[in-house]
Amino acid sequence: MASHRAWREGAGEANREGMRRWVGGGDVPGILAYVDGKPAGWCSVSPKSSLVGFRQPKDFPQAGGSASRGAATQAVWSVICFYVPEAHRGQGLMGRLLLAAVTYAKANGAQVIEGYPFVPEKADDGAGGTTAVFERAGFERVRELLPGQWLMRRILA
């Protein structure tokens, strides 16, 4: 797995080429939602170990709480990003994508699934999701990574 720094430095075409190689290798980096037969949203979901440039929770300052015991030794998957175009926002699509991501991860061997959302008032563009969406999908807050950003986890096994 490449470092977060290498991923940042590869912004643009280098990262797009990396994504093409990843998908070309047979890995699935996420799931799509369709409305009326047209793509309407995306959610990244994949084994945590496959994420290129992903900042691990250990890379964040310690800010209260501790990780659940044993999660590091299980098959852990991560949800790190959503994209829902403006025309489809406000319809609960992000929550449905997250639930579909959980189902997909579990069907592919995940025992734990994590997300790194922000509290709504700090969510900016919402690409990482919000704690409220994750809580409605059965995730629990594990620890605060940055002010307003949480490591959230759902045990699937």
pLDDT digits (tens, 9 = 90+) for 34-84: 999 999 999 999 998 877 555 555 555 544 444 444 445 459 999 999 999
pTM listed for this prediction? 0.77
pLDDT at 119 over 80: yes
**What are the chain's domains?**
28-155 (3.40.630.30)
pLDDT at 74: 55
Question: If residue 140 lies in a helix (H) or strand (E), which one and from where to where?
Answer: strand 140-146
With a cut of 70, say whether residue 11 has pLDDT above it. no
Is residue 94's pLDDT more than 80?
Answer: yes
Other Cβ atoms less than 10 A from the Cβ of 152: the count is 24
Q: Nearest-CA neighbor of 145 among 156, 136, 153?
A: 153
Find how far residue 27's CA is from the centre of its chain.
16
Contact of 80 with 47, CB cutoff 8 Å: no
**Whole-number pLDDT of residue 65:** 41
C-alpha to C-alpha distance for 142 and 152, rounded to whole angstroms: 5
What is the residue-averaged pLDDT of the chain? 81
